Each structure stands twice: as structure tokens, then as C-alpha cells.
Amino acid sequence: MEVVIVQDARAGGELVAQGIADLLRRKPDALLGVATGSTPLPVYEALAARVRAGKADVSRARIAQLDEYVGLPAGHPESYRSVVLREVVEPLGLSPDAFMGPDGSADDVRAACEAYEKALAAAGGVDLQLLGIGTDGHIGFNEPCSSLASRTRIKTLTEQTRADNARFFDGDVEQVPHHVVTQGIGTILEARHLVLLATGEGKAEAVAATVEGPVAAVCPASALQLHPHATVVVDEAAASKLKLAGYFRHAYAHKPAWQDL
């Protein structure tokens, strides 16, 4: 696992956007797994800026969604499908056909989960999966004590996550669905490169547990320790509880030429 400490959210966005642009140079039709929430927005903005400036070519890129609420009507502005279309697909000038995600409004959501697993495999698997992290250490919507081998399935949100996400629903926690579908931790671990981005002091504890704690289902993001190619990009505030911060800074200052980010 590589840990990169950047000054702030903007710098993190620039770094990860450049990593995506470099990947697309090597593999123009890469399948990019994207995350929702506030944290990755600077990445999408920085990538769109590179596209506008002719410094990144996303024309053949494909986009895969990580998770979705269950029960929101199709087209609801806060469904993750709507969010990804609005924040990623449209600003990058991609066709909605380049985008795939689980259907949380399906009549049979469990069948939709299975279908999404098959679709990801048929698409050749995710090349780079961008992840945020919940204050409770969740990735996607894999809440604490999710199986580290889990596949795409229905989960029940913790009250903490519903409260955290109420800001997207007029601050009204009652509007936040109780159920979601999410790529499982086992599914996420199959992506070729995992990039977890965390910014702000509110994530410092979850980041420390992810990077320096034991691999344990109680902190789902700690599963990244099992992945051969995982990069954790954190700003100073999110890095503030890392005991090994000095080592991570030193290692990054001497990073080998082949390191992606």
C-alpha cells in the first residue's frame, strides 16, 4: 500500500486526475470505477479541466458505479446514477452508454446485483477504482462487519451513515434510504488499482484504522491492505492520526519512477 500525503483536497484531486489521465494514455478504453460523495469531486473537476485543455483523452473511457440507494425512484437527483451522470459522465462529455451501474430501483434488486457482477466481469473488470471512505471506515456502502469476501448485494445503512448523508437530502435524515446496493469488498478488491481518497479531519480516525490498524471487517477499508496495488491519498488533516506519517512522506519523496501516483 502506498500512502501519499498531499497538502489539501485540491492537490489530491490534481494528483488522482493526473493518474487517471496517465492510465487512459496507456489504456484508452480503461474501465474507471467512480465513487460518489463530496471527496472525489475535485478529481472529477481536475480531470474535466484536463479534457478541456486537451491534456487528457477520455473519449473511449468507460465508467462503473460503486453503489446505489435502493428504493429511490429512477431519475431521483440523489440516486447515485443521477449523481455520476451529473458529476462525471456529462462533464467529461461521455455518452451514457459508456456508463454502467447497479439498478437500485429494479423490481428484483437481488437479481440486479447479480446482473451487475456479470456486467463488470463481461466488461473486463475495473482498471482503477476510486474510493472515498465513510467516517465509520466503509468503502462503497460496505458498512462495518461486511464480509471481506462479499459480492454486490443489498446492505442496510448504519444510522451514522444515514446522518452523514442527510446533507444530500435537505438535511432530513428521514429521506435517506435505509437500504443500498454496493459492490462487495471482494468485488472491489478485484479492481486492478485501488485509489482511496480521504480529506478532512473527520476522516483521520478511519484513515488510521485503514492504513495502520489490523485487517478487520469492523473497518471495511482495511481490506485495502490485502490488495497488491492500493494507493491511499490523504490531505494533511486526514493524515493527522497516522503514526507512520513521517515514513510515508519520506517514501513519497523517494518514490520510484514506476509508481503510478
Ligand X SMILES: N[C@@H]1[C@@H](O)[C@H](O)[C@@H](COP(=O)(O)O)O[C@@H]1O
Q: Could you tell me the CA-to-CA distances from 194 to 7, 109, 174, 216 in Å, in that order? A: 21, 26, 33, 18
Q: Which three cell numbers stand for residue 251?
A: 517514501
Beta pairing partners, 33: 64, 129
Q: Contact with ligand X (CB under 6 A): which of 36, 150, 152, 183?
A: 36
DSSP of 138-182: -BTTB-TT--TT--SEEEEPPHHHHHHHGGGTTT-GGGS-SEEEE
Kindly state the smallest distance separating residue 247's Cβ from ligand X, in Å: 26
Q: Contact with ligand X (CB under 6 A): which of 4, 15, 17, 35?
A: 35
Length of the chain: 261
Interface characters, 94-133, with ligand X (x: CB under 6 A): --------------------------------------xx
Kindly state the smallest distance separating residue 84's Cβ from ligand X, in Å: 11
What distance in Å separates the CA atoms of residue 78 and residue 171, rounded to the nearest whole number? 13
Assess 67 for contact with ligand X (CB under 6 A): yes
Judged by CB, which is closer to ligand X: 154, or 251?
A: 154
Question: How many residues belong to the site for ligand X (CB under 6 A)?
Answer: 14
Cα–chain center distance at 12: 14
Alpha-carbon dihedral of residues 59, 36, 127, 184, nearest 10 degrees? Answer: -150
Cα–chain center distance at 1: 16
User: Would you say 55 and 22 are in contact if contact means Cβ atoms under 8 Å apart?
Assistant: no
Kindly state the smallest distance separating residue 81's Cβ from ligand X, in Å: 13
Kindly state the smallest distance separating residue 82's Cβ from ligand X, in Å: 14
Q: Contact with ligand X (CB under 6 A): which of 18, 39, 65, 146?
A: 39
Interface characters, 133-172, with ligand X (x: CB under 6 A): xx-----xx-------------------x---x-------
The dihedrals phi and psi of 138, each to the nearest 5 degrees, come to -75, 150
Assess 11 for contact with ligand X (CB under 6 A): no
Is residue 164 among the annotated active site residues? no
Is residue 143 among the annotated active site residues? yes
Active site residues: 67, 136, 138, 143
Applying CB under 6 A, the residues found at the interface with ligand X are: 35-39, 66-67, 132-134, 140-141, 161, 165
